């Protein structure tokens, strides 16, 4: 055999192999980039509420990237405004309070679809004056909320219902987005609608003990808190991206329960405006409440039906000025939710991990 002849072909063959390898790598990279899907997610509050920290964990811990997503997180003044942006098509997904989403779908037939949720409702009405400690004492007093008919406004209405007071009729409200606690600390207002993690911050910065006037879990027990909502067009055209998003959120929420990760998570929580120490305290509070669902859609039928029923009652009492209009048919759990996206997300996680 003439090895000299064979050697003539050695370099071209190697070069061809290298060329093919580079081309394959380039194709693989190109395919990966093509598969990276963009999503814009609106979060409630400026700065966002701490309950939305899972989205920043999904981003900073690389879960969005892991599932081939390029996600923009966009804080908005309220979750209600965020849901409206989803209706208009300016936002793909929003974290929004469950009651107003149910009202929007029932009253206006907007094409919103709930794909996951957070069930635990921790809203409370706090007072900086220990003498003003009853529902009746709130009459005529300014109360800090997020926005007109926003999540805090709606929960204020729920907490004032036992003493038959109505926001902006018997009780003036002040629109502060997520800055209610800061306004209470500065002495601008005595009353505010708060989350659990607001309390230690207010008490430390004011040097005063906060008085809890009412809790939503007592005035409206068993209701549903918040949802991740998209619209029918996005679901029809980009369902795969939503499944990937849900997978990233599930992994991020599971991570929130890992106490060894809290120092790391506390740094990721910086966009919420909480210090590292306050973020760790908030994680203690919320994980003790099972605030974030674990490996579940968080769309309990009874809780969502309770939220819809409350808004149906509000609509009847106010003759359609608030809540679900009595002339409209309330949306059902089946009409409002799509449970298949989280189901597929859980299957994706199992396959990926």
DSSP code, position 140: T
* CATH code assigned at 348: 3.40.190.10
Tokens of 207: 């040097």
Together in a domain, 312 and 240: yes
d(C-alpha 97, C-alpha 83), whole Å: 9
Give yes or no for a contact between 244 and 38, defined as CB atoms under 8 angstroms apart: no
Q: What is the pLDDT of residue 36?
A: 82
**Residue 15 structural domain:** 1-30
Give yes or no for a contact between 80 and 147, defined as CB atoms under 8 angstroms apart: yes
Together in a domain, 55 and 149: no
Together in a domain, 158 and 287: no
Reading the chain (353 residues) residue by residue, the pLDDT tens digits are 333 333 333 333 333 333 434 333 333 333 344 468 999 999 999 999 999 999 999 999 999 999 999 999 999 999 999 999 999 999 999 999 999 999 999 999 999 999 999 999 999 999 999 999 999 999 999 999 999 988 999 999 999 999 999 999 999 999 999 999 999 999 999 999 999 999 999 999 999 999 999 999 999 899 999 999 999 999 999 999 999 999 999 999 999 999 999 999 999 999 999 999 999 999 999 999 999 999 999 999 999 999 999 999 999 988 888 899 999 999 999 999 999 999 999 999 999 99
SS3 165: coil
d(C-alpha 187, C-alpha 183), whole Å: 6
Q: What is the pLDDT of residue 34?
A: 46
Together in a domain, 345 and 233: yes
Give yes or no for a contact between 202 and 184, defined as CB atoms under 8 angstroms apart: yes
Give yes or no for a contact between 280 and 263, defined as CB atoms under 8 angstroms apart: yes
Q: What is the pLDDT of residue 63?
A: 98
d(C-alpha 82, C-alpha 44), whole Å: 7
d(C-alpha 21, C-alpha 40), whole Å: 36
Together in a domain, 262 and 114: yes
Together in a domain, 285 and 317: yes
Q: What is the pLDDT of residue 318?
A: 87
DSSP code, position 248: H
d(C-alpha 58, C-alpha 271), whole Å: 13
Tokens of 337: 């939710």
Residues 6+ apart with CB under 8 A from 260: none
69-76/37-44 β-pairing? parallel
Together in a domain, 239 and 344: yes
Give yes or no for a contact between 324 and 315, defined as CB atoms under 8 angstroms apart: yes
Q: What is the pLDDT of residue 35?
A: 67
- What count of other Cβ atoms lies within 10 Å of the Cβ of residue 38? 11
Count of domains forming the chain: 3
Residues 6+ apart with CB under 8 A from 74: 40, 41, 42, 43, 91
Together in a domain, 2 and 23: yes
Q: What is the pLDDT of residue 294?
A: 97
Together in a domain, 265 and 348: yes
226-231/93-97 β-pairing? antiparallel
Together in a domain, 183 and 247: no
Q: What is the pLDDT of residue 149?
A: 87
Among 188, 219, 250, which residue terminates a domain? Answer: 219
Together in a domain, 115 and 260: yes
Together in a domain, 13 and 74: no
Q: What is the pLDDT of residue 122?
A: 93
d(C-alpha 95, C-alpha 111), whole Å: 16
CA–centroid distance for 66 within its chain: 20
Q: What is the pLDDT of residue 349?
A: 98
């Amino acid at each position: 055999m003439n090895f000299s002849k064979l050697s003539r072909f050695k370099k071209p063959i190697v070069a061809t192999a290298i060329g093919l390898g580079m081309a394959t790598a380039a194709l693989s990279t190109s395919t990966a980039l093509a598969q990276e899907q963009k999503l814009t997610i609106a979060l409630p509050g400026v700065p966002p509420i701490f309950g939305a920290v899972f989205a920043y964990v999904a981003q900073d811990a690389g879960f969005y990237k892991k599932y081939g997503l390029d996600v923009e997180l966009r804080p908005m003044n309220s979750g209600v405004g965020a849901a409206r942006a989803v209706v208009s098509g300016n936002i793909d997904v929003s974290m929004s309070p469950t009651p107003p989403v149910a009202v929007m779908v029932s009253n206006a037939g907007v094409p919103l679809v709930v794909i996951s949720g957070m069930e635990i409702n921790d809203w409370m009405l706090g007072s900086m004056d220990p003498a003003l400690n009853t529902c009746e004492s709130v009459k005529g007093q300014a109360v800090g909320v997020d926005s007109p008919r926003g999540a805090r406004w709606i929960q204020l209405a729920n907490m004032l219902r036992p003493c038959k007071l109505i926001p902006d009729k018997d009780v003036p409200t002040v629109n502060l987005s997520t800055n209610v606690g800061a306004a209470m600390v500065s002495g601008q207002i005595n009353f505010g609608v708060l989350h659990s993690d607001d309390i230690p911050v207010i008490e430390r910065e004011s040097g005063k003990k906060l008085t809890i006037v009412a809790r939503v879990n007592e005035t409206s027990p068993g209701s549903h808190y918040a949802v991740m909502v998209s619209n029918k067009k996005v679901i029809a055209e980009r369902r795969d991206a939503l499944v990937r998003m849900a997978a990233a959120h599930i992994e991020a929420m599971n991570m929130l329960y890992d106490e060894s990760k809290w120092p790391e998570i506390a740094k990721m929580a910086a966009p919420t405006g909480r210090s590292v120490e306050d973020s760790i305290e908030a994680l203690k509070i919320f994980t003790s409440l099972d605030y974030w669902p674990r490996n579940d859609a968080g769309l309990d039928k009874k809780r969502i039906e309770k939220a819809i029923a409350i808004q149906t009652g509000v609509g009847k009492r106010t003759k359609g000025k608030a809540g679900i209009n009595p002339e409209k048919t309330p949306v059902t759990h089946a009409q409002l939710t799509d449970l298949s996206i989280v189901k597929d997300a859980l299957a994706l996680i199992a396959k990926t991990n």
